[in-house]
Chains A and B, each alone.
Chain A
């Protein structure tokens, strides 16, 4: 590191020390409580400054950026194939799903289309990564509410899904498998049968969670009626995914978006819940895992044969233009707005990540709740730090 860079580095650290003292003026009777950045409830490094009156939240102010890694700038200095390596790491639980909208946007600009088999495999992996993602939520929400055991089951069964993803892509966590014009490799031998076994495991996991968590009276009292988000408020804040569907908005891009994936050829159902509370969000996600399992098994049965790559040049240059593609990712709507000037690198990539919008409602929804409910609401909104801070 040269001198200039290291000076900048050190000054950042020094500056940050003072920034950590961000104090919201308003010295009332209440107490200011910091949840985060080192706090088990915030899934990592989100920081929420809650002002309390007794145990009631007067105001909540999320402070982010503890995980800000500068994706949008870095994409401007990476070639298109290199960008997928980066964006993998945005929502790190369902990594493959992050690549898909980017690749689709690039494909739209290049006016290529992946062959059907590639699209089917993409969709299968897309849904598998949703399972890998949401399964963990199902356990983690319970652990946030104090039940220690479900998260262990979640990790146990998630391992099998990761195995399947790994055996196709070679990457257990960050596959980096999607390519402009198709996918990198074909399915390995025997994968389809193994995946079916895994799906039945996930099914039984869902049943287990239904018994252990959803059916638990304490869980219900802790989540029902807590953190109610009305549909219009949720939409105005840009909530998406299961968060908005559990407020009764029947909107799923997999059905309504109609881009590049083959969800419209499958038989499945969009679940909504009218309540809009923490319980609804948990319940809708639980159903969505089941729907995903259903989708994957249909894909496994109907996967067409054929090539997996369309004809694309070896060095990818994307023609000038702008395109925005969004898909229904595990956390909600994820979209990439790509501006190309015909180079090897995108001119600008705007990453619309789901959690950023989902969490932006927290100051609104946390007002007036109790400290324990803060946890329940944060857990049920289900965010991933990389997806907020990018």
Chain B
């Protein structure tokens, strides 16, 4: 059988070690430049963590186009995952949070939307990751989606593996995909109402019965400070 030696040489070094100095990541920067040129005005933003990871953000219209470029030009043949993010702050404030009985004074109900490292301005952001198994370069692709029940092109023609991921996103976030072969619920019963991963989906059990939260243990002298999570199972 084949051996690991046949592998291409450009494997990145241990990222954690190289994180100390400020290094310029040639590969990723080149990649970002290349894809920005290809996409033109549809390319919005990018973020590179040197030697570790790269994010790009494209417009909703160029979503499928991006996949094609990534697949064909950059040989990102490995489909990793596809998901979405709901940036809207939970309308329930901290009620749903585990920390409800452990509020520090600075924690307050947030009202403003706040986006991740590549920014954004819409409620939903689509997030996908593809990978090139040869050069071992992975890229996170994001796109802002318009509206409360957005619709976007499907990736299945390029990555057949996106099929189930898109179904999952559909049922979890209510984002539908154009031209998807089988747009039905994946996990939940068809009659399930609501989209659980939206921030405004309430966990009813929690409302009925408050979460015991972190049991704030007084530290014994000399005790390690890592045993604060024992309360998960006893309900």
Instruction: Give the interface size class of chain A.
Output: 35 or more
Note all chain B residues with C-beta closer than 8 A to A238.
Answer: 78-81, 159, 161
B40 within 8 A of A: no
Complex: A84 Cα to B233 Cα, angstroms: 12
Main secondary structure of the interface of B (DSSP, over half): loop
A184–B226 CB distance below 8 A: yes
Residue of A whose beta carbon sits closest to that of B227: A184
Complex: A5 Cα to B208 Cα, angstroms: 7
Note all chain B residues with C-beta closer than 8 A to A68.
Answer: 187-188
B21 within 8 A of A: no
Instruction: Give the interface size class of chain B.
Output: 35 or more
Note all chain A residues with C-beta closer than 8 A to B59.
Answer: none
A208 within 8 A of B: no
Note all chain A residues with C-beta closer than 8 A to B41.
Answer: none
Residue of B whose beta carbon sits closest to that of A86: B232
Interface hits, A360-382 → B, CB 8 Å:
360-361, 364
Complex: A258 Cα to B229 Cα, angstroms: 29
> Which of B99, B203, B224 has a CB less than 8 Å from the CB of A343?
B99
Which of B5-13, B22-30, B31-39 lines the interface with chain A? B5-13
B97–A344 CB distance below 8 A: yes
Residue of B whose beta carbon sits closest to that of A11: B191
Note all chain A residues with C-beta closer than 8 A to B4.
Answer: 250, 252, 255, 269-270
A2–B1 CB distance below 8 A: no
A42 within 8 A of B: no
Q: Which of A11, A22, A348 has the most CB of B within 10 A?
A: A348
B83–A259 CB distance below 8 A: no
Report which B residues bind A (CB closer than 8 A): 1-4, 6-7, 11-16, 52-53, 55, 77-81, 83, 85-86, 96-99, 102, 107, 114, 116-117, 127, 129, 133, 136, 138, 140, 158-161, 163-164, 172, 185-192, 196-197, 201, 203-209, 211, 214, 219, 224-226, 228-229, 231-233
> Could you list 6 further interchain pairs (A-B, Cβ under 8 angstroms) beyond the known A337-B140, A345-B97?
A8-B204, A77-B98, A81-B226, A269-B4, A322-B116, A335-B81
Ordered by A's residue number, 18 sampled pairs between the chains whose C-beta atoms are within 8 Å are A2-B208, A4-B204, A16-B189, A19-B189, A76-B96, A77-B98, A81-B229, A82-B231, A236-B158, A238-B79, A250-B4, A259-B15, A260-B16, A272-B1, A339-B116, A350-B83, A350-B127, A357-B161
